Amino acid sequence: MVAPLLAAPLLLLFAIFFVVPFVEIMRISFSGKGGAWAGATWLMSSPVFALVFLNTLKLALSVTLICLILGYPAACFIAGQPDSRRGVYLALVLLPFWTSVLVRTYTWSLVLGREGLLNASLIWLGITNEPQRFMFTPLAVHLGMVQILLPVAILTLVGVMTELDAGLVRAARVLGASPWRAFWHVYLPMTKPGIVAAAMLLFILSLGFYITPALLGGPRHRTIANLIDLQVHQMNDWTAASAMALVLLATTIAAVALLRWLVPERNLYGGAR
Amino acid sequence: MTAVTRRDMGRLALGGAALAALCTSARAQAVTITVNGSGGSLAKSLERIYEKPFTAETGIGVRATAPVSVAKLKAMVETGNMEWDLTEMGGADMIEGVKNNWLTEIDWSIVDPDNKLPPIARQKYGMVTSTFSTVIAYRTDKFGGKAPKSWADFWDVKSFPGPRALQDSPVQNLEFALLADGVPADKLYPLDVERAFKKLDQIKRNVAAWWTTGAQQVQLLVDGEAVMGTVWNGRVPPLKKEGKPVDIIWNGGALQLSYWAVPRGAKHPKEAMRYMKSRLDPDKGVQLLQDSPYPGFAPGLIEKVDPELAKILPIHPDNVAVQYSFNPEYWSEHRPKLTERWAAWLLS
């Protein structure tokens, strides 16, 4: 009898802040001026939507990959530390994580600008005579997003790695496996649930990125979230905006479903044991 | 125990009077109107010149909010949750607002009882509060003493090298492209969209940044992210005063009107309109122009302006002569489609 009661606050929150807006978005999306299918028709015919959607998927994928590649060794290192020192390293990862996304994004524009830190350094070092363009490039968007999401990758991976039975790697080494072989055949497979969970989180978070691509990428690197903003504020077409929001949600659900199919649930949340 | 002295009585009476005054002002303050504008540094000037004196005179409080957003207006009207009593509106947004029935009719017997405003400023659903221009601004220190003179120069990256900045919107940029391509200012509308985009293709590579807010326009120039870009005319004089090497060109500027309107469902429309009336005081208008060169049509205003200041106003005859008159009707009709094309063009 108590259990449902305990879930009530969360369910209420979910109902108010997710179900109600979701139903409203469904309503707007299917009841525009142009009839029930106006939103869907726009999605199919718009020259912008397909391009931006594809770009958003590509961006989310590449940011996810880069975060995993950079985060994995860092997580290995942190997980391998004794308990006393691990806390210090985790704090170093968490510190930027707790800093506002807006602040971190804006700071990048100071670094990457034409007269910013990076260009000043390159000119001072004699690597270039002319300031190079870094702002509003794919590089800027990637730098900003990777820096923001990297702690998510590291924390998720460390969580799984500290749960591992280190004895198994030792056993492989004792039985004659080279360090590389022990890593490749023992350690890496054991961390797979962590990699998949991190990839899922990173991909979903990247899909909805708004402020970083807007500030560092500009309109030439719009994501779906930016395009929704443009629809709402410039084109006044909320039907199209809602339709795009639904596509974004469906993509997220599809990504989650795919990953759960790749890795059974108990492995996702229960560590590797 | 001493008896209550006369002085004590006096103090009591004073205290009572103060209390009574507090109470009455509290009662009068019960009505507070919410006025939505563009915010920024201008908000402080407005508070000093108009809002505080208005509250002192009428007892009606004024709460200022920002930014101007037609999307917010739409959301508030459609959900029946109107936060604003008065809002600033751009020209094309104004037409959109009238078309969609988002606005309340102005009661001119409150705002301009003596009928002193020119007809252009007195519209059924709005009052013109100010005029402003989107113009070219450039860094005076980047072209070796040369100064660009026109949109053709803006496009001429050989004579005036360096990154450009434009607004992330087809609105006005299509006009600017056509002006650069030699279309006369009075023959712009209806726009030759194909020709405009073709001309924009030539400059796209050189546009380093596409701004979305007024603060960004000048930030880009000051930071050197761009050496030439579009700005609202009022953004540059404060920078010049600070000694920054920037200037504007009136030639080819887009002269526009901005409006005050009372949203449909506003809680205090009468009070809002009384505030609108207070904005027509020419003496206060002159004060405001010191901080913000966006004059309205307040009767008697222009006669009171210092001739030196008048030169940096969008409606100075010399400046009007070289600008084109922005057509909000055209944009109200074509903005959604052209914005979509613009967004696609930027991606390619």
Chain B residues within an 8 Å CB radius of A48: 340, 343-344, 347
Which residue in this structure is represented by tokens 């001739």?
A: B307
Confirm whether pTM is higher than 0.95.
no
Dump pLDDT digits (tens) for A189-246: 999 889 998 999 999 999 999 999 999 999 999 999 999 999 988 888 889 999 999 9
Q: How far is B72 from chain A (nearest CA, A)?
A: 8
Prediction ipTM score: 0.82
What is the spatial distance between Cα B348 and Cα B343, in angstroms, rounded to a whole number?
9
Chain B residues within an 8 Å CB radius of A222: 343, 346-347
Residue B10 has pLDDT above 80, yes or no: no
Measuring CA to CA, how many Å separate B73 from each of A24, A39, B86, B266?
A: 18, 22, 11, 11
Q: What would you measure as the largest C-alpha separation in chain A, in angstroms?
A: 73
Long-range pairs for B104-109 at CB < 8 Å and ≥24 separation? B104/B261, B104/B262, B104/B263, B104/B264, B104/B266, B104/B269, B106/B261, B106/B262, B106/B273, B106/B276, B107/B269, B107/B270, B107/B273
Q: How far is A22 from chain B (nearest CA, A)?
A: 16
Helix (H) / strand (E) containing B167: strand B164-167
Dump pLDDT digits (tens) for B130-172: 999 999 999 999 999 899 999 999 999 999 999 999 999 999 9
Dump pLDDT digits (tens) for B18-47: 555 554 554 445 799 999 998 877 888 999
* High-pLDDT (> 90) share of chain A, %: 56
A263 touches chain B (CB under 8 A): no
Chain B residues within an 8 Å CB radius of A219: 168, 210, 343, 346
pLDDT at B2: 45
Q: How far is A64 from chain B (nearest CA, A)?
A: 23
Helix (H) / strand (E) containing A28: helix A20-30
A266 touches chain B (CB under 8 A): no
Dump pLDDT digits (tens) for B273-298: 999 999 999 999 999 998 889 999 98
- Domain spans, chain A: 23-99+151-267
Looking from the CA of A103 toward its CB, the CA atoms found within 13 Å total: 5
A235 touches chain B (CB under 8 A): yes
pLDDT at B345: 95
Q: How far is A270 from chain B (nearest CA, A)?
A: 43
**Closest CB to B343 among A114, A133, A222:** A222
Choosing among B203, B212, B222, B345, which should be mutated to test the A contact, i.e. which has the most A CBs within 10 A? B212
Q: How far is A235 from chain B (nearest CA, A)?
A: 4
Pairing of strands B164-167, B228-232: parallel
Whether the CB-CB separation of B126 and B108 falls below 8 Å is answered with: no
Burial B224-233 (b: 16+ CB within 10 A, else e): bbbbbbbbbb
Among A216-220, B4-8, B247-251, B264-268, name the one with the lowest average pLDDT.
B4-8
**Closest CB to A236 among B74, B208, B346:** B74
pLDDT at A40: 87
C-alpha closest to that of B98 among B344, B332, B316:
B332
List B133's β-bridge partners, or say none.
Answer: B255
**Closest CB to A233 among B71, B209, B346:** B71
Report which DSSP code applies to B209: E
Residue A41 has pLDDT above 60, yes or no: yes
CB contact under 8 A, A232 and B71: yes
Joined tokens for residue B252? 């080819």
Residue B15 has pLDDT above 60, yes or no: no
**Closest CB to B225 among A48, A52, A113:** A113
Name the CATH superfamily for A23-99+151-267. Answer: MetI-like (1.10.3720.10)
Question: Strand, coil or helix: what is B30?
Answer: coil
Question: Strand, coil or helix: what is A112?
Answer: helix
Closest Cα in chain B to A114: B225
CB contact under 8 A, B347 and A235: no
